[in-house]
Amino acid sequence: MLATFQVITDTHVRDEAGHIHNRHFEEALQDISSYCEKSLGIMHAGDVTDRGLAGEYAEFRRIWNGRPAGLPELYVTLGNHDIGAVLWEESGTPVDLSTLPDFEVEDALDGRFPDRAKAVDGQAVSENNAIDVGEVEAVNSEHRAAQPLNAAESLAVAAAEMGLDLAGMAERLGGSDATSGRARELWKRRMRRFADGTGEAAPYHDHWLGGYHFIFLGSESPHPKDCDLSEAQLTWLQERLAEEAASDRPIFIFLHQPVRDTVAGSMSEQGWYGVNQDAALKEVLSGYPQAILFTGHTHWQLEAKRTMYDGQGVMPSMFNASSVAYLWTDQDEHLTGSEGLQVEIYEDRVAVRGRDFVKRSWIADAEYTVNLPASVSQP
User: Across 3-7, 178-182, 226-230, which has the greatest mean pLDDT?
Assistant: 3-7
Lowest mean pLDDT: which of 121-125, 158-162, 195-199, 315-319? 121-125
Judge whether residue 190 has pLDDT over 70.
yes
Dist. CA 136–CA 292, nearest whole Å: 44
Residue range 149-171: average pLDDT?
Answer: 57
In this predicted model, what pLDDT tens digit does every residue of 39-76 receive, in sequence order? 999 999 999 999 999 999 999 999 999 999 999 999 99
Q: In this predicted structure, what is the pLDDT of residue 164?
A: 54
Bridge-based pairing of strands 251-255 and 212-216 is parallel
Residues in the chain: 379
Q: What percent of the chain has pLDDT over 70?
A: 82
Q: In this predicted structure, what is the pLDDT of residue 138?
A: 37
Q: In this predicted structure, what is the pLDDT of residue 166?
A: 56
Q: In this predicted structure, what is the pLDDT of residue 267?
A: 95
Q: How far, in Å, are 42, 74, 190, 195 from residue 77 at the CA level?
A: 12, 10, 13, 10
Q: In this predicted structure, what is the pLDDT of residue 90?
A: 73
Q: In this predicted structure, what is the pLDDT of residue 149?
A: 58
Lowest mean pLDDT: which of 159-163, 222-226, 310-314, 325-329? 159-163
Judge whether residue 214 has pLDDT over 70.
yes
The per-residue pLDDT of the chain, averaged, comes to 86
Q: In this predicted structure, what is the pLDDT of residue 92?
A: 72
Q: In this predicted structure, what is the pLDDT of residue 134?
A: 34
Lowest mean pLDDT: which of 81-95, 116-130, 278-292, 334-348? 116-130
Judge whether residue 248 has pLDDT over 90.
yes
Sign of CA dihedral 217, 221, 226, 231: negative
Residue range 265-275: average pLDDT?
Answer: 93
Q: In this predicted structure, what is the pLDDT of residue 240?
A: 98
Judge whether residue 162 has pLDDT over 50.
no
Query: What pLDDT band is residue 94 in, cutting at 50, 70 and 90?
Result: confident
Residue range 328-356: average pLDDT?
Answer: 96
Alpha carbon 227 to its chain centroid, in Å, reads 9
Rounded to 5 degrees, what are φ and ψ at 162? -100, 10
Residue range 372-376: average pLDDT?
Answer: 82
Dist. CA 189–CA 195, nearest whole Å: 10
In this predicted model, what pLDDT tens digit does every residue of 109-159 receive, in sequence order? 999 987 744 433 444 333 333 333 333 333 333 333 344 556 566 656 655
Q: In this predicted structure, what is the pLDDT of residue 114?
A: 79
Q: How far, in Å, are 8, 31, 56, 295 from residue 17 at the CA level?
A: 20, 19, 9, 26
- Is the full-model pTM beyond 0.85? yes
User: Across 217-226, 234-243, 366-375, which has the greatest mean pLDDT?
Assistant: 234-243
Beta bridge partner(s), residue 8: 44
Query: What pLDDT band is residue 376 in, cutting at 50, 70 and 90?
Result: low
Residue range 174-191: average pLDDT?
Answer: 73
In this predicted model, what pLDDT tens digit does every residue of 16-36 receive, in sequence order? 999 999 999 999 999 999 999
